[in-house]
């Protein structure tokens, strides 16, 4: 069976500006794939090309084995898209939003109605079925947008920053629903600038920065490859001028703290304390994708 | 074609809860005809139309049908189209389904046409009730009104793609208000000096008014064919331009 998504030297330019600069990527069927990167990295432009609404400037792209330039309609009939800004229909109720979407996908009114009821249950919105979209919370809107994108039982679901702007509780509920989809064998492609989201949801990811892919792999392999197991975060008073060069470890100076990449955080901390360099505060944690991004680009994901 | 109809379904669904918007427009013809018949019409003598002397309300009323079709379509393809295009991103959501951009434009034009047509049918019924129709050709007036509505919807949707904010609509209606007053709705073309007549005849509402008045009076002529041709050209050009501009905005 053809790959869910296959891109070779995929490029998108808007005039002089290059939004996506010759990226290669492959997403297998049933896989959950993330594009991690800061705002402006080219994630959304890539998503728009995959969703067939934005023609590629150059390079090859195939989605579900078809060419977006010529088979857009066939691709879209097997795909669900959750846009960054939800773009729900404000003039309709929660249930009608799903129903009319079902109609757009060719369902009869009867089928659209029963599909809507099924999906409202999936999105835990049954009790808001007759509500206007404007009265929903951010988390509910996002769940409705996901429910609506599932109306055609898609093989591939695209989610552009699915949890941006949501509170932690709403995020976890959403992750749980997305995990359910993945369990059912639906291919997920999502963008995010949250490393914990990429870690939670993706089997494999690419890290994007400035229109290019800078790393690719599973969350754990990326961490193993680019950073240490653990990270020791320390703070010194502003006037202190502490030299850490003798540790022989990679360090990263941030505005408010210093990161030390080490395989044994507690031991490294002990070395500092024993040599009279006790920090005013310290924290040992597991290395994350955020550290990978920092190591690769020298910048943080979420400023 | 069926795919475009789905946009009409969507609009029916949304208007189902706010019928007042549609109903309010239906009172308009009765108010106008009452004002014309009982008030203004008494002050104005009969006017001449194709050699016949007819009452002023009988002269003005068919023109108002064309105006109703224009207004219904304009309202839909200005504010509503703009909102769905730029603010609520409704069309972005539609384009993530098998529907195409052409379906979106055709669907919205059809809806605007139907809305304009609905207004004019109410007007037509009112005219019949006030005894202001003089010919059986009047049964074709709804089709003429649909054509007028579609013509204005097509051009308006193209114009709306250039609107950058709500305040730009002042300009939009600055352009359509003179049409309402000057397109021979309230007085015949012969009132204008010789040099001004071609200018009036070049404007779109003139053709709608002229066509519907000829149908109401049974005074069809070769000029009526010209009216229809003008309106059809307006549809074709407006629709092509609107589709191209929408593609530039939505699928880049």
Which chain B residues are within 8 Å of A12, Cβ to Cβ?
none
Does residue A303 surpass a pLDDT of 60? no
Alpha-carbon distance of A7 to A26, in angstroms, equals: 6
Query: Pick from A51, A100, A105: which is nearest to B9 by CB?
Result: A100
| Nearest chain A residue to B87, by CA | A87
Does residue A293 surpass a pLDDT of 60? yes
CB-based contact A89 B98, cutoff 8 Å: no
Which chain B residues are within 8 Å of A106, Cβ to Cβ?
98
Q: What's the pLDDT tens digit per position in A90-132?
A: 999 999 999 999 999 999 999 999 999 999 999 999 999 999 9
Q: What's the pLDDT tens digit per position in B92-132?
A: 999 999 999 999 999 999 999 998 888 888 888 888 988 88
Which chain B residues are within 8 Å of A92, Cβ to Cβ?
10, 13-14
Task: State the Cα torsion B214-B216-B217-B223 to the nearest 10°.
Answer: 10
How much is the mean pLDDT over chain B? Answer: 90
Higher-confidence residue of A13 and A299: namely: A13
pLDDT of res. B180: 86
* Residue-by-residue DSSP string for A146-197: HHHHTTT--SEEEEESTTTT--HHHHHHHHHHHHHHHHTT-EEEEEES-HHH
pLDDT of res. B1: 63
Alpha-carbon distance of A266 to A298, in angstroms, equals: 25
Helix (H, G, I), strand (E, B) or coil at B89: coil
Backbone angles phi, psi at B183, to 5 degrees: -85, 45
CA angle A25, A27, A31 (to 5 degrees): 150
What average pLDDT does range A230-254 have in this prediction? 86
CB-based contact A53 B10, cutoff 8 Å: no
A193 CA to chain B: closest CA distance, Å?
23
Helix (H) or strand (E) holding B80: none
Alpha-carbon distance of A150 to B75, in angstroms, equals: 34
For testing contact with chain A, the best of B4, B15, B81, B96 (most A CBs within 10 A): B96
Count of CB atoms situated within 10 Å of the CB of A301: 24
**A106 reaches B (C-beta below 8 A):** yes
pLDDT of res. A133: 94
pLDDT of res. B140: 95
CB-based contact A14 B251, cutoff 8 Å: no
Which chain A residues are within 8 Å of B93, Cβ to Cβ?
83, 87-89, 101
Q: Which of A299, A147, A288 is nearest to A223 (CA)?
A: A288
Does residue A166 surpass a pLDDT of 90? no
Helix (H) or strand (E) holding B114: helix B101-129
Going from the C-alpha of B96 to that of each of A148, B91, B188, the distances in angstroms are 11, 9, 50
Going from the C-alpha of B144 to that of each of A259, B50, B139, B227, the distances in angstroms are 75, 20, 10, 10
Counting one residue from chain A and one from chain B, the pairs whose CB atoms sit within 8 A come to 63
pLDDT of res. A202: 92
**B 74-93 residues with CB < 8 A to A:** 88-90, 92-93
Does residue A10 surpass a pLDDT of 70? yes
What average pLDDT does range A269-288 have in this prediction? 90
Which DSSP state fits B191?
G
**B14 reaches A (C-beta below 8 A):** yes
Does residue B31 surpass a pLDDT of 70? yes
**B12 reaches A (C-beta below 8 A):** no
Q: What is the ipTM of this complex?
A: 0.89
Q: Are A172 and A184 in contact (CB under 8 A)?
A: no
**A 250-269 residues with CB < 8 A to B:** none
Query: Pick from A53, A85, A96: which is nearest to B251 by CB?
Result: A53
For testing contact with chain B, the best of A56, A89, A97 (most B CBs within 10 A): A89
Q: What's the pLDDT tens digit per position in A19-65?
A: 999 999 999 999 999 999 888 899 999 999 999 999 999 999 999 99
Which chain A residues are within 8 Å of B250, Cβ to Cβ?
53
Count of CB atoms situated within 10 Å of the CB of A32: 22
Which chain A residues are within 8 Å of B89, Cβ to Cβ?
83, 85, 87
CB-based contact A100 B250, cutoff 8 Å: no
Residue the block writes with tokens 């369990």 = A183
**B103 reaches A (C-beta below 8 A):** no
Helix (H, G, I), strand (E, B) or coil at A231: strand
**B22 reaches A (C-beta below 8 A):** no
CB-based contact B251 A54, cutoff 8 Å: yes
What average pLDDT does range B154-182 have in this prediction? 90
Which chain A residues are within 8 Å of B95, Cβ to Cβ?
53
Q: pTM of whole model > 0.80?
A: yes
Map out the domains of chain B as residue ranges: 2-250
Which chain B residues are within 8 Å of A54, Cβ to Cβ?
251-252
Which DSSP state fits A133?
G
**B251 reaches A (C-beta below 8 A):** yes
CB-based contact A53 B90, cutoff 8 Å: no
Q: Which of A84, A172, A94 is nearest to A126 (CA)?
A: A94
Backbone angles phi, psi at B85, to 5 degrees: -75, -45
For testing contact with chain B, the best of A12, A81, A104, A160 (most B CBs within 10 A): A104
Which chain A residues are within 8 Å of B97, Cβ to Cβ?
76-77, 101, 104-105, 152
Q: What's the pLDDT tens digit per position in B236-247?
A: 999 999 999 999
Which chain A residues are within 8 Å of B19, Cβ to Cβ?
none
């Amino acid at each position: 069976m053809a790959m869910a998504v296959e891109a070779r030297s995929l490029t998108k330019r808007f005039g002089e500006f290059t939004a996506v600069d010759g990226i290669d990527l492959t997403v297998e069927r049933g896989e959950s794939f993330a594009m991690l990167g800061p705002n402006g990295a080219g994630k959304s432009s890539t998503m728009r090309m995959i969703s067939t609404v934005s023609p590629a400037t150059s390079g090859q792209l195939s989605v579900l084995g078809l060419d977006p330039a010529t088979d857009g309609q066939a691709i879209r009939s097997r795909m669900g898209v959750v846009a960054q800004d939800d773009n729900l229909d404000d003039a309709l109720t929660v249930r009608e939003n799903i129903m009319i979407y079902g109609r757009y996908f060719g369902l009869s009114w009867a089928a659209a109605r029963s599909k809507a009821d099924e999906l409202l249950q999936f999105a835990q919105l049954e009790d808001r079925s007759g509500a206007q979209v404007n009265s929903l919370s951010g988390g509910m809107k996002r769940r409705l947008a996901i429910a609506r994108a599932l109306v055609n039982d898609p093989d591939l679901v695209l989610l552009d920053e699915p949890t941006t702007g949501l509170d932690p509780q709403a995020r976890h509920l959403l992750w749980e629903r997305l995990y359910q989809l993945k369990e059912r064998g639906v291919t997920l492609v999502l963008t995010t600038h949250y490393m914990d989201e990429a870690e939670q949801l993706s089997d494999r990811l690419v890290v994007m920065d400035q229109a290019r892919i800078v790393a690719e792999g599973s969350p754990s392999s990326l961490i193993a490859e680019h950073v240490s197991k653990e990270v020791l975060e320390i703070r010194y008073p502003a006037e202190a001028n502490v030299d850490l060069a003798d540790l022989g470890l990679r360090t990263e100076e941030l505005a408010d703290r210093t990161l030390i990449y080490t395989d044994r955080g507690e031991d490294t901390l002990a070395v500092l304390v024993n040599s009279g360099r006790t920090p005013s505060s310290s924290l040992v944690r597991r290395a994350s994708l955020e550290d990978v991004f920092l190591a690769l680009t020298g910048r943080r994901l979420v400023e | 074609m069926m795919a475009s109809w789905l946009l009409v379904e969507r609009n029916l669904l949304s208007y189902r809860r706010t019928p007042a918007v549609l109903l309010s427009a239906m009172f308009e013809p009765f108010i106008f005809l009452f004002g014309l018949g009982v008030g203004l019409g008494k002050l104005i003598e009969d006017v001449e139309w194709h050699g016949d002397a007819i009452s002023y309300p009988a002269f003005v009323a068919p023109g108002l049908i064309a105006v109703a079709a224009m207004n219904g379509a304009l309202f839909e393809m200005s504010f509503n189209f703009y909102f769905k295009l730029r603010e609520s991103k409704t069309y972005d959501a539609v384009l993530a389904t098998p529907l195409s951009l052409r379906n979106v434009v055709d669907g919205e034009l059809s809806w605007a046409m139907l809305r304009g047509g609905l207004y004019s049918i109410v007007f037509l019924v009112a005219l019949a009730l006030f005894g202001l129709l003089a010919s059986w050709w009047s049964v074709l007036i709804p089709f003429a009104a649909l054509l007028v509505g579609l013509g204005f919807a097509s051009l308006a949707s193209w114009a709306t793609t250039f609107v950058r904010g709500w305040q730009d609509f002042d300009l939009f209606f600055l352009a359509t208000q003179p049409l309402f007053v000057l397109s021979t709705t309230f007085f015949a073309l012969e009132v204008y000096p010789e040099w001004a007549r071609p200018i009036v005849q070049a404007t779109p509402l003139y053709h709608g008014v002229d066509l519907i008045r000829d149908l109401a009076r049974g005074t069809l002529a070769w000029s009526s064919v010209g009216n229809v041709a003008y309106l059809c050209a307006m549809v074709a050009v407006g629709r092509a331009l609107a589709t191209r501009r929408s593609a530039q905005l939505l699928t880049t």
